[in-house]
């Protein structure tokens, strides 16, 4: 009975998480880990400046 469900590792803390339909936070072990992961994702985006302006300038000078 114990190994009926697939077990995955929580992306945030690495804790074993049973991949059950009623587990709303999968693949995370809990809401907190999900929020932490989303927060880090947003932070990563924020830390990496997108240099679209440079790309447009380059295209514009060529065209
Ligand atoms: Zn976790």
Kindly report, residue by residue over 2-40, the tens digit of the pLDDT. Answer: 557 899 999 999 999 999 989 899 999 999 999 998 887
Helix, strand, or coil (residue 35): helix
Who wins on pLDDT, 50 or 27? 27
CA of 8 from ligand 1 middle (Å) equals 11
CATH class of residue range 7-62: alpha beta
pLDDT band at 57 (very low <50, low <70, confident <90, very high): low
How remote is the CA of residue 46 from the centroid of ligand 1, in Å?
23
Q: Are 8 and 29 in contact (CB under 8 A)?
A: no
Mark 7-16 as b/e (b = at least 16 C-beta within 10 Å): eeebebeeee
Q: What is the pLDDT of residue 54?
A: 63
CA 4 to centroid of ligand 1, rounded, Å? 21
Domain boundaries, the chain: 7-62
23 CA distance to ligand 1 middle (Å): 13
Q: How far is the CA of 47 from the centre of ligand 1 (A)?
A: 24
Greater pLDDT, 42 or 50: 42
Distance (Å, rounded) from C-alpha 27 to C-alpha 10?
6
Q: Report the alpha-carbon angle 42-12-51, nearest 5.
A: 25
């Amino acid at each position: 009975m114990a190994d009926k469900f697939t077990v995955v590792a929580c992306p945030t803390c690495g804790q074993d998480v049973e991949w059950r339909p009623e587990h709303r936070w999968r693949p995370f072990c809990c809401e907190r880990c999900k929020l932490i992961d989303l927060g880090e994702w947003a932070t990563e985006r924020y830390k990496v400046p997108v240099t679209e302006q440079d790309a447009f300038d380059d295209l514009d000078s060529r065209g």
